[in-house]
Structure 1
Amino acid sequence: MEQEVFWMLSVCIAIACYTDWRNSIIPNRLTFAGAVLGFSYHGITGGLGGLVFASAGFAAGFLLLLALYAVRGIGAGDVKMFGAIGAITGVSFVLQCLMYSIFFGALIGAGILLSRQQFIRRAGQLAFGLFTFLWFRDMGIWKAGKQEYLRFPFMYAVLPGCIIAVWLMPAG
């Protein structure tokens, strides 16, 4: 990863983590600035190919997270932030970062559930919901009534996800 790309990513992630921790929001001006930085940098350094690189990265990050947003798994700021991460780093990195972030998110969620002693009940609800969807093709359980959601800032999982993705990224 180029040094400039690393620093753009690092600053965006650091600010997003802070604001998500402090206010439970990732500001639009941060996600917009990150995307503009990614498009500008790659457009200037790579021309049309660089813009295609940034566009593909933005689309990959944004669209995949949009699916999680649709099922209320994450907030809109996370979706836009992954678009910016993709514009800065490209498709390959944003996919790796997303994979590791989801893994860390699952660990954090399981840790919270275990600390609240809700893990067994939630795991049963998840298993029942998956069964009803797979067997009956019924998504009603996912839409049913007022449910309590386990909430924590997703950037808590994105930070270690990005660090691991950078660390494991092949040199070159």
Structure 2
Amino acid sequence: MTLTLLTVLAFAVAADFREMRISNRLIASGLMMGLALRILGEGGAGIVHFLVNISIPVILLFLLFQLRVIGAGDIKLFSVAGGFLSMRQLLYVILAAFVTAAVIGLGKLLYQKRMAGIFGNQRTLIHFSAMILIGYFIVVWGCAIE
């Protein structure tokens, strides 16, 4: 189960860096795989857990999407992760992704400020799909949160 999600996240990061977007086909494939694995593992109750967990990122992150802090593809990718993870793991992945993004963003800002005299003003862009993947590694592979 964890390798399936890892694969989906890796493809999403590659697509995000290459095309600056995450394909809806990849999102739909990830959601279908997550649902199938939930049903296989939990039976009918897995459907309810799946629906609740894929809804959590949309509810929590909608305001940030409206403020253009995070993209719709990133929220959908969090939903895919929710289809595979427990609610607790999902919330920790979201938290870890945002903390990681804050640290990397601060580093990029400091670097760009130092280089501003040479290159002028540049936009600071963070591929949030990579932060989701890092958050996933921190939570699922780094410590056993169940």
TM normalised by structure 2 equals 0.86
Please, what is the CA RMSD of the aligned residues?
A: 1.7
Q: Is contact 1:65–1:82 with CA below 8 Å preserved after alignment? A: no
Q: Is 1:51–2:68 an aligned residue pair?
A: no
Runs of 4+ in 1 over 3 A off after TM superposition: none
Deviates more, 1:7-16 or 1:64-73: 64-73
Cα distance in 1 between the residues matched to 2:16 and 2:99: 19
- The number of equivalent residue pairs is 138
Consecutive unaligned residues of structure 2, counting only runs of 5 or more, are 115-121
Q: Which has the larger radius of gyration?
A: 1
Cα deviations across residues 66-106 of structure 1 (Å, max 9, x unaligned)? 23211111111101111111011131111110000000000
What is the aligned counterpart of 2:107 among 104, 107, 111? Answer: 111
Q: Is contact 1:62–1:79 with CA below 8 Å preserved after alignment? A: yes
Q: Give the residue type in structure 2 aligned to 1:112.
A: K
Q: 1:162 corresponds to which residue?
A: 136
Q: Is contact 1:43–1:50 with CA below 8 Å preserved after alignment? A: yes
What is the aligned counterpart of 1:13 among 9, 15, 20? Answer: 9
Q: Secondary structure at the match of 2:78?
A: helix
Q: Secondary structure at the match of 1:21?
A: helix
Consecutive unaligned residues of structure 1, counting only runs of 5 or more, are 119-147
Q: Give the residue type in structure 2 aligned to 1:165.
A: V
Q: 1:66 corresponds to which residue?
A: 62
Q: 1:149 Cα shift?
A: 5.9
Instruction: Map 1:23-102 to 2 at 5 A.
Output: 23-102=19-98
Q: Is contact 2:93–2:136 with CA below 8 Å preserved after alignment? A: yes
Q: Is contact 1:98–1:158 with CA below 8 Å preserved after alignment? A: yes
Q: Give the residue type in structure 1 aligned to 2:125.
A: R
Percent identical: 28
